[in-house]
Every structure is written in structure tokens, then in C-alpha cells.
């Protein structure tokens, strides 16, 4: 009985590992195709073919092509939330806001074109990010900023966090649309500066 249970557990672990590898491959090839062709010209069929899987397998991992793109943002937001204790140790609220924004927007080894696509998709699907959205991620930063005396206290913290997130989203969307130049680091700086200046304590 014990041997059989161990065998079942190993089989389950192996299946989950294959699923993780398949999902990672879908993300990788989708990113390559989207960078090359654009999101609108890339189909689920093409992604599945490039990943060497059936179209139905794609839908086991992602509800749609848009959900695949949004998952890039979800993963970066989740990572930023996981390292928030370290970010909160930075010397200023502005520095913490910039670190979170950089971590979410730039990603790890993302092609600049993919960053633009993800940023624009976030802007289009703002309400779909729900529990892991930038507003919730930034709220502890804003709370600490208020406690430090850096940020204004006449507005409730959830509203402050929401405003900061909206302002940063807007700045990043403008960059994604090509309205604020091509320099991503400068766009992040400008977005964070504008958001911070609006909520800092006078």
C-alpha cells in the first residue's frame, strides 16, 4: 500500500512538472511570436504549433491569448509582492515606488517590444488584474510613506495608493503608445516622479 502511494505521488509530481515545462514553453514561444508579428497577428494556432502542442493543450493553461499576455504582468506583480519587505527598507518612498514599478514593468530579460505589449494590455485590462494589481502591491509602500511623514495624510491610504497606481499606469501606457519617447527608464522615472509629487506632504 505504501509503495503504491509513493508511486502515485511520483506520477503526480511528474505530471505537474511536465505541465510547468509545457506552460513555460508556451510563454516563451508566444513571446517570440508576438515580438516578431505583433499580438494581433499572432494566433493561438501558431503559438500551439511553435510549442509543439495541440491547440486544446494551450487552453488547458491559458483561457485566451490575452490571458497569456496578462500573466506576464501577474507574475511580475506577484514577485514584487514577495520581495516587498526588502523594498520597504529602501531609504525613501519614491525609491520604493520606483523599485516596484521597475520590477513589474521591465521584467526579467524581457524584450522591449514585449514590455510595450504587456504595458498596453494592462492598460486595456486594468480591472482584470484584481487581487494582484499594482494598487494592492503599492499600498504597503504608501502606508509606510505616510508613517514616515513623506506623504499627505488628508486622504485615506487606499485612495492614495489607487491614485499613485493609476498615475503610474497612465505614464507607462503613454510610453507603450510611443507618446513619451523610447527610453523606458526615463519613462519610469517620469511616471513615478509625477505620482510621488502629487501625493507628497507639502
Question: In the structure grid, which three cell numbers stand for residue 58, read together?
Answer: 494551450
CB-based burial, 35-48: b 16+ in 10 Å, e otherwise: beeebeebebebbb
pLDDT at residue 131, rounded to an integer: 40
Q: What is the pLDDT of residues 124-154, one digit of tens each?
A: 665 555 444 778 889 999 999 999 999 999 9
The domain segmentation of the chain, as residue ranges, is 2-62, 66-199
Query: Which residues have CB under 8 Å from 43's CB, separation 6+?
Result: 65
H-only helix segments in 38-133: 44-51, 55-61, 65-82, 84-87, 93-106, 112-124
5-10 average pLDDT score: 53
Mean pLDDT of the chain: 83
**Three-class SS of residue 131?**
helix
Class of domain 66-199: mainly alpha
pLDDT at residue 56, rounded to an integer: 93
Residues 78 and 132: beta-carbon distance below 8 Å = yes
62-83 average pLDDT score: 84
Residues 62 and 47: beta-carbon distance below 8 Å = no
pLDDT at 8 over 90: no
Q: Which helix (H) or strand (E) holds 41?
A: none
**Three-class SS of residue 193?**
helix
Q: Which fold has domain 2-62?
A: Arc Repressor Mutant, subunit A (1.10.10)
Amino acid at each position: 500500500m505504501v509503495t503504491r502511494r509513493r508511486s502515485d505521488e511520483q506520477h503526480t509530481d511528474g505530471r505537474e512538472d511536465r505541465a510547468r515545462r509545457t506552460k513555460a514553453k508556451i510563454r516563451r514561444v508566444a513571446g517570440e511570436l508576438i515580438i516578431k508579428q505583433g499580438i494581433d497577428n499572432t494566433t493561438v494556432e501558431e503559438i500551439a504549433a511553435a510549442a509543439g502542442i495541440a491547440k486544446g493543450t494551450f487552453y488547458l493553461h491559458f483561457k485566451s491569448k490575452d490571458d497569456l499576455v496578462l500573466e506576464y504582468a501577474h507574475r511580475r506583480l506577484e514577485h514584487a509582492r514577495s520581495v516587498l519587505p526588502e523594498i520597504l527598507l529602501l531609504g525613501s518612498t519614491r525609491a520604493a515606488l520606483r523599485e516596484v514599478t521597475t520590477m513589474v514593468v521591465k521584467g526579467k530579460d524581457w524584450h522591449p517590444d514585449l514590455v510595450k505589449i504587456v504595458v498596453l494590455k494592462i492598460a486595456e485590462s486594468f480591472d482584470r488584474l484584481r487581487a494582484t494589481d499594482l494598487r494592492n502591491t503599492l499600498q504597503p509602500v504608501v502606508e509606510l510613506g505616510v508613517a514616515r511623514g513623506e506623504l499627505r495624510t488628508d486622504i485615506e491610504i487606499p485612495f492614495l495608493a489607487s491614485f499613485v497606481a493609476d498615475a503610474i499606469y497612465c505614464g507607462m501606457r503613454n510610453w507603450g503608445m510611443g507618446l513619451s519617447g523610447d527610453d523606458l527608464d526615463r519613462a519610469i522615472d517620469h511616471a513615478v516622479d509625477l505620482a510621488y509629487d502629487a501625493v507628497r506632504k507639502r
